[in-house]
């Protein structure tokens, strides 16, 4: 069971990518032979994603750490016998995950506190009663939406380090929603905008997803949105 837990921790983002891929309604055609260089690029990307996920969960301090982890992965992928007693080290692996997760969470909390404090000091920032912050970059015209209005917006969502996790602009389609159906930060912040307005909206964790992990969004993450209110639908 512990081995399954560890492997699932490593694989969850790739499972998420696969889950988001639509399943064909009909039997797929025979696979086309892939160019070796293209296959190599795909497999490199797979390795990069696994490594990117690993570094968000574990603290590896030096080159020797990286070499040991990569050697272990290489051996198991090549079907070799392990060079260590795996059962002996499973408890230490689980403990490292727990300890590193705590350290990473504390580091993230400190970085977020600094980010929120600095953003709040910027000129033009309005702090709402739930803690969400709005900085208008483009004014709009007309009436503001109400708490239960249906609106159409374009947005880009990032973590405080700039990592993008979602964007209606990338999809090429505006997002339509009732303001009662989104995170509390949005419900309050979008009401500050008039049609045509654009703003940076910063959401403290308790106005976003709180302690719930949401794909690439870790628990207790502050979020940053670039929101443009296109129209009030209703």
Catalytic residue positions?
155, 165-166, 183, 209, 225
Q: In whole angstroms, what is the distance from residue 211 CA to residue 221 CA?
A: 8
Q: In whole angstroms, what is the distance from residue 223 CA to residue 35 CA?
A: 40
In the structure, how many helices (H) and strands (E) does the chain have? 6, 7
| Residue 150 · residue 158 · CB < 8 Å | no
Buried b (16+ CB within 10 A) or exposed e, 123-157: eeeeebeebbbbebeeebeeeebeeebebbbbbbb
β-bridge partners, 125: 135
Q: In whole angstroms, what is the distance from residue 130 CA to residue 165 CA?
A: 23
Q: In whole angstroms, what is the distance from residue 223 CA to residue 155 CA?
A: 12
The contacts of residue 217 (CB under 8 Å, 6+ apart) are 159, 165, 208, 209, 223
């Amino acid at each position: 069971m512990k081995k399954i837990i560890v492997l699932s921790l490593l694989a969850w983002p790739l499972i998420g990518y696969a889950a988001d891929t639509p399943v064909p309604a009909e039997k797929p055609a025979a696979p086309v032979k892939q160019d070796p260089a293209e296959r190599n690029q795909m497999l490199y990307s797979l390795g990069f994603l696994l490594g990117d996920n690993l570094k968000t969960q574990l603290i590896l301090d030096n080159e020797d750490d990286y070499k040991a982890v990569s050697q272990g992965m290489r051996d198991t992928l090549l079907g070799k016998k392990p060079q260590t007693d795996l059962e002996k080290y499973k408890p230490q692996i689980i403990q490292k995950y727990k300890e590193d997760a705590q350290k990473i969470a504390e580091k993230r909390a400190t970085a977020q506190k600094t980010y929120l404090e600095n953003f709040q000091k910027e000129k033009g920032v309005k702090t709402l009663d739930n803690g969400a912050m709005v900085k208008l970059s483009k004014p709009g015209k007309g009436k503001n939406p109400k708490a239960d209005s249906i609106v159409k917006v374009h947005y880009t969502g990032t973590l405080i380090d700039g990592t993008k996790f979602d964007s209606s602009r990338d999809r090429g389609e505006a997002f339509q929603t009732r303001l009662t159906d989104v995170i509390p930060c949005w419900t309050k912040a979008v009401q500050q905008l008039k049609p045509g307005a654009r703003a940076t909206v910063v959401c403290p964790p308790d106005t976003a997803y709180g302690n719930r992990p949401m794909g690439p969004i870790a628990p207790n993450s502050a979020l940053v949105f670039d929101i443009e209110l296109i129209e009030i639908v209703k």
